[in-house]
Structure 1
Amino acid sequence: MHFRKLDLNLLVALDALIRHQNVSLAAEELHLSQSAMSSSLSRLRRYFNDDLLVQVGRSMILSPLAEQLEQPIRDILVKIDASLMLKPGFDPTKSDREFRICVSDYMLHTLIPHVIEMTQEQGCTVKLNFLPQVSDPKKELDRGGADLLILPEIFCSDFHFSEHLLTDEFACVVWDQSDLAKGDMTMDVFTSAGHICMQPPNSNPSFETHSYDLQGVYRRVEVRTFSFSCIPSLIIGSNLIATLQKRLIDKAIAQGLPLKLFPSPVSLPLLNESMQWHKYQNVDLGIIWLRKLMLEAVTRLAK
């Protein structure tokens, strides 16, 4: 199909070329040969009268025009994709649709097991692909890389729809045989002790780190890790403090880990986790079903 003498299939190629800035990787994504993708790039260059991708050393960079085209083209393709999903009815027990969901490992460890359990009980045939959170969650929605984000409310974009999912609070946790477990968790103890904290790879700081930073609270961080869920195990045998979501601590203690929980001496805001989805998918019956499933899983989690 052509529009104003442009083969609209070339927009898909241009989108891949802009995202990867590499002919081979774009060809691989679209299951094309490298020569076919090179031919598409040549046709796009002739149509726009612009190089679009410029060779600089061993890499390719976007031309100014390609940078301007990136968001409008991605927006068009996401809108088309969302429109194609607007089929009458959605049956999760008959659909083979894959839902891509960006989550933290905290959510994977606490809420998502209930989500999977419910899909199994209901005989669902859909596929769930859980992806790690990234530095720019909104971009994942914009580019169609994710169908649903689950993230702290403060990190939600105003550009897309969102809905509250659950609330948790933070607490301090230590090994129950450590010196820290013998007394109270005072501010002096908190600031003088070593800490272990989670630092998301190539992403925003974790919510509790962000909260401490806003209040000017200094922690002597001795250990950093990319995972929330591993911290309860890492703390055993140490004289370190971790600030974690209470649901995560409660689950670890229920599983028999030798831990002791203390209220944080620092007043931290509640953690409000939200779901966010693309504005063009607001009436997508599959996304509506997925959101409802998540809320039902929260009810099961709270029991």
Structure 2
Amino acid sequence: MHFNGLDLNLLVALDVLLTERNITLASRRLHLSQSAASGALARLRDYFGDELLTQVGRRMVLTPLGESLAAPVRDILLRVETTVQTRPQFDPASARHHFKLLMSDYVATVLMTRAIPRLQRAAPGVTLEMLPYSDRQWEALERGEVDFLIMPTQYLQADHPAEPLFEDSYTCIAWSGNDRVGESITLEQYLASGHVTVRFGPQRLPAYDEWFFARYGHVRQFEVITTSFNAIPQFVVGTSRIATMHRRLANFYRDFLPLKLVEPPVEMPRLTEAIVWHQYREHDPASLWLREALKQAAAPFAGDDRSVNAPG
């Protein structure tokens, strides 16, 4: 089908080419040979009267026109995708649906271990794929590569709707054999201690506690940096190091690791985790169903930071 002389099938090729900026990678995503992908690019160049991508050294870069086309073309295709995928209703008992959710391993441990057994009973044909944080999470949502983000509310953007799921607070943890930490910890002791922390993605984005203390000019000594919240308690045990982490996750690990929990030396704001979805999926029945199911799974957390994952 053609529109104003453009073969509409080429829109998909255009989107992939502008995203990958590599003929080989684009051909794989399009399930085409490299010569066919090159042919599609040639036809697009002819239609737009522009190179769209040019070779600079060993890589291809977008021309100004290519840059200006990338976002609107992706937006058009996402609108089409969400329109044709939407059904008038969603029956979880019989549905075959795959959801992709981007979240921290903290949320996966605390919330999803509670939610998944319930989801399987209610919707045995629904599958879930949980992906880790990255430095392009908003791009992934906007491109339709993931269905949901679950993240702290202070990181939300106004472009897409969101809804709170649950709250948590922060605690300090130490090995139970660490005699430098008693039933409480002063700010001086806290700053003098070695810390375990977590950072995300290629840009090494800090967790909230690191941002919070740096904001008030408190410099901590980071002696162990990991990519996983779940690794933090394990890296504290057997050492004199401490960490600041989510209370629910700390309580979960205290059940089988020799840990002690103490209040942070300064009052920290509570954390609210929210679920975010693309505005185009606002009224999609499948999206609505999963959002509600996760809210129900998180409901027992209300007002109790000690509550952790309890399958069922």
Q: Shorter-chain TM-score: which interval?
A: over 0.9
**Structure 1 residue 136: deviation in Å?**
3.4
| Residue of structure 2 equivalent to 1:206 | 207
Which of 277-286 and 24-33 deviates more?
Answer: 24-33
**Structure 1 residue 184: deviation in Å?**
2.7
The aligned amino acid for 1:223 is V
Q: Which sections of structure 2, spanning at least 5 residues, go unmatched?
A: 308-312
CA–CA separation in structure 2 for the residues paired with 1:238 and 1:213: 24
| Residue of structure 2 equivalent to 1:224 | 225
| Residue of structure 2 equivalent to 1:85 | 85
Q: Which sections of structure 1, spanning at least 5 residues, go unmatched?
A: none
| Residue of structure 2 equivalent to 1:237 | 238
| Residue of structure 2 equivalent to 1:107 | 107
8 Å Cα contact 1:111-1:301 kept in structure 2? no
8 Å Cα contact 1:174-1:180 kept in structure 2? no
What TM-score does the superposition give when structure 2 sets the normalisation length?
Answer: 0.93
CA–CA separation in structure 2 for the residues paired with 1:210 and 1:240: 19
**Structure 1 residue 262: deviation in Å?**
0.5
The aligned amino acid for 2:138 is K
**Structure 1 residue 95: deviation in Å?**
2.2
8 Å Cα contact 2:102-2:146 kept in structure 1? yes
CA–CA separation in structure 1 for the residues paired with 2:115 and 2:159: 27
| Residue of structure 2 equivalent to 1:59 | 59
8 Å Cα contact 1:199-1:206 kept in structure 2? yes
8 Å Cα contact 1:78-1:144 kept in structure 2? yes
CA–CA separation in structure 2 for the residues paired with 1:132 and 1:298: 20
After superposition, give the CA deviation of every residue in 1:274-294 in whole Å (9 maximum; x if it has no partner): 111111110111110110111
The aligned amino acid for 2:77 is L
After superposition, give the CA deviation of every residue in 1:44-76 in whole Å (9 maximum; x if it has no partner): 100111111111111111111111111111111
**Structure 1 residue 301: deviation in Å?**
5.1
The aligned amino acid for 2:34 is Q
Which of 208-217 and 176-185 deviates more?
Answer: 176-185
CA–CA separation in structure 2 for the residues paired with 1:41 and 1:93: 44
The aligned amino acid for 1:107 is V
- State the identity %: 38
In angstroms, what is the RMSD of aligned CA positions?
1.4
What TM-score does the superposition give when structure 1 sets the normalisation length?
Answer: 0.96
CA–CA separation in structure 2 for the residues paired with 1:173 and 1:291: 32
**Structure 1 residue 183: deviation in Å?**
5.4
SS in 2 for 1:32: coil
After superposition, give the CA deviation of every residue in 1:164-198 in whole Å (9 maximum; x if it has no partner): 11111111000000123335311111011100100
- Equivalent residues in 2 for 1:1-303, closer than 5 Å: 1-182=1-182, 184-202=184-202, 204-254=205-255, 256-300=256-300
8 Å Cα contact 2:171-2:247 kept in structure 1? yes
8 Å Cα contact 2:196-2:223 kept in structure 1? yes
CA–CA separation in structure 2 for the residues paired with 1:216 and 1:8: 55
Equivalenced residue count is 302
CA–CA separation in structure 2 for the residues paired with 1:301 and 1:92: 24
SS in 2 for 1:292: helix
